[in-house]
Amino acid sequence: MARDHVAVALLRNIWVATAVLLGAQVEEKFPADVHRLFACAEFRFTPWRGVSHPLLLRVPIQLRKTGIVGQKVRVEEELEAYPTESVDLRCQFIDGGGRTKLTQVSWIWEPTDGQRDNIAVFHPMYGQSFPNLSFKDRVVFLHNSLENPSIRISNLKMSDAGRYTCEYATYPSGNEQGTTTLIMLAKPKNSANIVTVQAGSKSVVVAQCEAADGKPAATIKWLASVGGNHSTTTTNGPDGTVTVRSEYRLVPTPADNGREVTCLVDQRTQERPWVFPVKLSVEYPPSVSIEGYDNNWYVGRSDAMLLCLANANPAPISVIWTAVSGSLPETVMVEDNKLMVKKVDDAVNTTFICEVKNKQGTSRNQITTFVIEEKREFTPGPNTGAVIGGILGSLIFIAIIVGIIFLIRNCQDNREGPPKHKPPPPVRTGRSTEMLNKPSEPPMATEVAPLSPREVHCNPTGSEPVTVICRKLYLCS
C-alpha cells in the first residue's frame, strides 16, 4: 500500500513539473488512467512545499472546468410546511456525460442551531437506513433508486426546520450535494380580553391582545377612539415559535366604560388580519340623582312619587330611602328605587335622602318637598313650534303687504306725474303782418268736449284747436 502511494506521488510530481514548464495546455493530454489512479488512491492535490508557481496552482482548477465533474444534484431551494403535516424533499442526480458512478446517497439534516446528522441513507446493495431516532418512522424514501432518492417527512414538528442536504458518494468525482431549506410555519393562536379597572388618575392596562406560538412573529395593532397607547413584548419558544403580547393603556374615567377598542393581528400565515373588538370595563362609585318632584304636592294628592337614579359600575347592590327627620312618614311606601306617597299631607313636607351603594363606594343625594294647600293649575304654555311658526307667518304676511303697497305707489307715480317738458307753442295761421298789426285782445278760451278726464280741447281765437293734458285746470292761449 505504501508503495502504491509512493508511485502515485511520483507520477504526480512528474506531471506537475510538466505542467509548470508547458502551461495549462498539457492538462488536456493527461492520461485517463492517471486520473483513475488518483481517484483510487483518494489523493487530494497539494502543491509541493516551497512551490508557488501560478501555473502549478491552476492545474486542479482547470481540471474542474473541463467538465470532469460536470454532474450536479437537483433539489428545491426552499420549502414551507406546517406542524403535523407532511413534506416531500425531492432530489435528483443529473449526469450530463453519463460517466459518473453513483455509490450511495444520504440525507443530512442541519438544524437552525445544531450540528449535522444523517437521517436517511440508501445503498443499492445494503438498502435503506434511518440512523436518527427523532426521524425514525417519520421518514421514507419515495423511490427505491439512487437517481431519485426523494424522501417524505411526516408528522412534522416545529423543530424540524433547518437545512436538508442530499449528498451523493460518486466515482470518480467524489461527493456531490444539493441543499433544501425547510421553513416551518405556524399559525398563531390569537386572543383578546379586557382588564377591569377602577376610574382614577393613573395610566393602567385596560385591554390585552396576544398572538401565541406563531412563526414568523405576528404584528399587533390597535384601533381605538379613546386616548391611549400600547406596548408590545415578544417571547421566543423552545420550538422556534414566537408569542407576541400587546397591552393597551389609558387613564380610565367613568365615560370610558363601555367604549370599544379593537385588536388587529397580522401574520404571514393568515389570509387577512385577525380583528377582535372589546369593550372597556371601568368601575366607579355611584352618581345619584332624584327625579319626580313637580312642585305641586298639594294636600290629598295620591300619585306623588320620587325616583332615585344611579349611574354606577358595577350595578348598585342597595338603594336606601331616608328622611332628614329620621324614619320615613307612614304615608310613604318604598319599592326598589321608588318612593311613593299614598296621600300627601304635612308629614311629607320634609327632605328625602336616597343613598346608593356598589362595590366601589357609596353616594347619596337629597330633595326637599313642599306641601301646599291647594292644587296649582298650570296653564299650558303655547307650543314652541307653533309660536315660531306664527311669528314666521306674520313676518311673511307683512312683507307681502309692504310689497303690494310699494307696487301700487310706484304705478301711480308713473301715471299721474306732471309733464316732464313744456309743450310746444301752438302753430298760428295767417299772415305775419296781420298778426303784428292786429291790436291785442284778451285771449278767449273755448272748451270743447274733453277726450279724457284729464284732457281739454281748447280753441284759441284765430287759431286751430290744441289738445292739452291738464292735471286739474289749465288755461290755454
| Integer angstrom CA distances of residue 348 from 304, 308, 471 | 10, 17, 87
Query: Which three three-digit cell numbers place residue 440?
Result: 291785442
Q: Do residue 179 and residue 210 come from a single domain? A: no
Q: Round to whole Å and give the CA distance between 358 and 342.
A: 29
Residue at which a domain ends, from 349, 369, 389: 369
Shared domain for 316 and 248, answered yes or no, is: no
**426 domain residue, yes or no:** no
Residue 153 in contact with residue 79, Cβ under 8 Å? no
Cβ–Cβ under 8 Å, residues 219 and 230: no
Cα distance between the two ends of the chain: 169
Q: What is the pLDDT at residue 298?
A: 93
Residue the block writes with cell 328625602: 352
Is residue 348 in a domain?
yes
235 compared with 114, residue with greater pLDDT? 235
Residue 34 · residue 68 · CB < 8 Å? no
Note down the domain range covering 157.
73-184
Check whether residue 296 and residue 336 sit in a common domain. yes
pLDDT band, very low/low/confident/very high, at 31 (cuts 50, 70, 90): very low
Among 70, 66, 124, CA closest to 98? 70
pLDDT given at position 416: 57
396 inside domain: no
CB contact at 8 A, 225 and 259: yes
What's the DSSP call for residue 220? E
Q: Which of 56-65, 76-85, 228-237 has the lowest mean pLDDT?
A: 56-65
Domain co-membership, 148 together with 164: yes
CATH number of residue 298's parent domain = 2.60.40.10
Entry pTM: 0.57
Lowest-confidence segment of 113-117, 299-303, 329-333 by average pLDDT: 113-117
Maximal CA-CA distance, the chain = 183
468 pairs with which residues across the strands? 456
Residue 151 lies in a domain: yes
CB neighbour list of residue 193: distance below 8 Å, 6 or more residues apart? 207, 208, 278
d(CA 428, CA 67): 141
The reply to whether 324 and 238 lie within a common domain is: no
Average pLDDT for residues 251-258, to the nearest whole number? 94
Residue 299 neighbours by CB distance under 10 Å: 15
19 within some domain: no
Write out pLDDT tens, residues 354-368: 999 999 999 999 999
Q: What pLDDT, on a 0 to 100 scale, did the predictor assign at position 376?
A: 83
In a domain, 121, yes or no: yes
* pLDDT score, position 19: 42
Query: Looking at per-residue confidence, does 45 or 76 come out higher?
Result: 76
Find the range with the poorest average confidence among 20-24, 191-195, 467-471: 20-24
Answer yes or no: is 160 within a domain.
yes
DSSP element (H, E) containing 459: none
228 or 39: whose pLDDT is higher? 228
Q: How many domains does the chain have?
A: 3
Residue 308: which pLDDT band, with cuts at 50, 70 and 90? very high
Total residues found in the chain within this entry: 477
Q: Of the given ranges (24-28, 118-122, 195-199, 335-339), which has the lowest mean pLDDT?
A: 24-28
pLDDT tens, 139-185? Answer: 999 988 898 999 999 999 998 999 999 999 988 888 999 999 999 99
Residues 155 and 219 in one domain: no
C-alpha to C-alpha distance for 169 and 159, rounded to whole angstroms: 28
Residue 420 lies in a domain: no
Same domain, yes or no: 268 and 290: no
For position 426, what pLDDT does the model report?
57
Cα gap 467→470, rounded to integer Å: 10
Are the C-beta atoms of residues 165 and 177 closer than 8 Å to each other? yes
Residues contacting residue 387 through CB under 8 Å, at least 6 positions apart:
none
Q: Does one domain contain both 154 and 79?
A: yes
Check residue 415 and give its pLDDT: 62
Separation of alpha carbons 85 and 79, rounded Å: 13
Q: What is the pLDDT of residue 99?
A: 79
Q: Does pLDDT of 106 surpass 50?
A: yes
Contact 451, 419 (CB under 8 A): no
Higher pLDDT, 462 or 316: 316
The span from the CA of 344 to the CA of 340, in Å, is: 10
Residues 211 and 275 in one domain: yes
Tell me, yes or no, whether 272 and 232 share the same domain.
yes
Question: Which of residues 168, 184, 200 is at a domain's end?
Answer: 184
Residues 211 and 264 in one domain: yes
Strand runs labelled E in 361-446? 361-368, 371-372
Note the pLDDT of residue 40.
36
Residues 79 and 180 in one domain: yes
Residue % of the chain over a pLDDT of 70: 70
Query: What is residue 435's predicted lDDT score, i.e. its pLDDT?
Result: 42
| In the predicted structure, residue 128 carries a pLDDT above the cut 90 | yes
Q: Encode pLDDT of 174-217 as tens digits.
A: 899 999 999 999 999 999 999 999 999 999 999 999 999 999 99
| Poorest-pLDDT segment among 184-193, 237-246, 267-276, 399-408 | 399-408
| Domain end (from 232, 263, 280) | 280
User: Which amino acid belongs to residue 128?
Assistant: Q
Helix (H) or strand (E) holding 9: helix 2-22
Mean pLDDT of 324-350: 91
